[in-house]
Amino acid sequence: TPTPAASTTAPEAQPTTEATTEATKKPITIALVYGIQGDAFYITMEKGAREKAEELGVTLIADGPSKWDPSVQTPIVDAMIAKKVDGLINVPNDPQAMIAPLQRAFDAGIPVVTTDQYIGDGNYTDGTVTFPLSVIASDNFEGGKIACEALIKSIGGKGKIYILTSTANVPSDIARRDGCIAAIDANEGVSLAGVDYTESSAPTATTQTQAMLQKEPDLAAIFGANLFSAQGAAAAVKSAGLAGVIKIASFDAPEQAIVDLRNNVIDMVIAQQPALIGATAVQYIYDALTGNTADIQKKVNTPFVIITRDNVDTPEAQAAIYKS
Ligand code: T6T
């Protein structure tokens, strides 16, 4: 940013100085490198980021890997550094492997915010990695706990619960798993039927759920801890003719989850607020670039909207459904 005209500047010199300042002011470009292509959660995050960028008069460029893999995501981050973007928002595909690429961005003078996921141990104040400005994400442990407490209530406090989550190196989904297990542990009448890792593939989740239905014919409930895990579980329960018999909680709120909710296949949808996450990240980068750091918090937890058949038609629930 060019230095503003000094207060001693002669009045007649001002118009020229201001004109020069305007002409040389470099437009701000912020990059969003999201988690994976084709996921309504990230599509909605990008939309929120784009709307905020327009409001602030900055440019947003977005890209992300075709599969959840740090070796695919790293060159995308490096390409943003090579483009000399002014700020970088990243959903790191791995908490360890993405430290080095994000450090390269930081070392190039690019402020970094992580959304949905974190790097290191996620404590940017005094943890293992402190250079990112902030991590903006849901409180995933709490979300998993809320989901499974509701499931336990819906099965009358008795029965077996099965958890499907994405991968073991995705901190958000592991926290949801652990929040659910904490709810199960706190309730004597329920037990954990098992945990499977779906690699965020709905067909994989369907196959795994079918196997679980064979193994545990009296299964009471399923927690799908991310969009594709829940979608695959719902498809398996539907095709087994068990809709309404086995209770399902879906973490994430794509249109399909709402259709399944209305059709009694899914009983509860835990909507994150990806648009708010994206918008907050853009605001933080902008604040950092314009010297307004006072409002930047190292960690932001965005709230959930819990959608059930009782409130699905309220404006709040409708606004929380992801875009695709
Ligand atoms: O649940 C979201 C996201 O929060 C998670 O980290 C990965 O999966 C999703 O993108 C949904 O597919």
Instruction: Tell me which residue has its CA closest to atom 1 in ligand 1.
Output: 226
Give pLDDT, residue 26: 78
- Give distance in angstroms: CA of 141 to centre of ligand 1: 14
CB-based burial, 219-255: b 16+ in 10 Å, e otherwise: bbbbbbbbbbbbbbbbbbbbeeebbeebbbbbbbbbe
What is the C-alpha to C-alpha distance for residues 146 and 48, in angstroms, rounded to an integer? 25
Instruction: Tell me which residue has its CA closest to atom 6 in ligand 1.
Output: 172
Residues with C-beta less than 6 Å from any ligand 1 atom: 35, 39, 41, 116-117, 166, 170, 172-173, 200, 226-228, 251-252, 272
- Give distance in angstroms: CA of 169 to centre of ligand 1: 12
pLDDT in tens for each of the 324 residues of the chain?
344 443 434 444 444 444 444 445 679 999 999 999 999 999 999 999 999 999 999 999 999 999 999 999 999 999 999 999 999 999 999 999 999 999 999 999 999 999 999 999 999 999 999 999 999 999 999 999 999 999 999 999 999 999 999 998 899 999 999 999 999 999 999 999 999 999 999 999 999 999 999 999 999 999 999 999 999 999 999 999 999 999 999 999 999 999 999 999 999 999 999 999 999 999 999 999 999 999 999 999 999 999 999 999 999 999 999 998
- Give distance in angstroms: CA of 288 to centre of ligand 1: 27
Instruction: Tell me which residue has its CA closest to atom 8 in ligand 1.
Output: 226
Give pLDDT, residue 25: 66
Give pLDDT, residue 20: 44
What does the H/E/C string look like for the chain?
CCCCCCCCCCHHHHHHHHHHHHHHCCCCEEEEECCCCCCHHHHHHHHHHHHHHHHHCCEEEEECCCCCCHHHHHHHHHHHHHCCCCEEEECCCCCCCCHHHHHHHHHCCCCEEEECCCCCCCCCCCCCCCCCCEEEEECHHHHHHHHHHHHHHHCCCCEEEEEEECCCCCHHHHHHHHHHHHHHHCCCCEEEEEEEECCCCHHHHHHHHHHHHHHCCCEEEEEECCHHHHHHHHHHHHHCCCECCEEEEEECCCHHHHHHHHCCCCCEEEECCHHHHHHHHHHHHHHHHCCCCCCCCCEEEECCEEECCCCCCCHHHHHHCCCC
Nearest Cα to 98, choosing from 62, 135, 61? 135
Give pLDDT, residue 24: 54
Instruction: Tell me which residue has its CA closest to atom 7 in ligand 1.
Output: 226
Dihedral of alpha carbons 48, 124, 139, 184, sign: positive
- Give distance in angstroms: CA of 65 to centre of ligand 1: 14
Pocket test for ligand 1, best of 67, 223, 227 (most atoms within 8 A of CB): 227
Give pLDDT, residue 216: 98
Burial class (CB in 10 A: 0-12, 13-18, 19+), 310: exposed
| ipTM value | 0.97
User: Is the Cβ–Cβ distance between 56 and 27 less than 8 Å?
Assistant: no
Instruction: Tell me which residue has its CA closest to atom 12 in ligand 1.
Output: 227
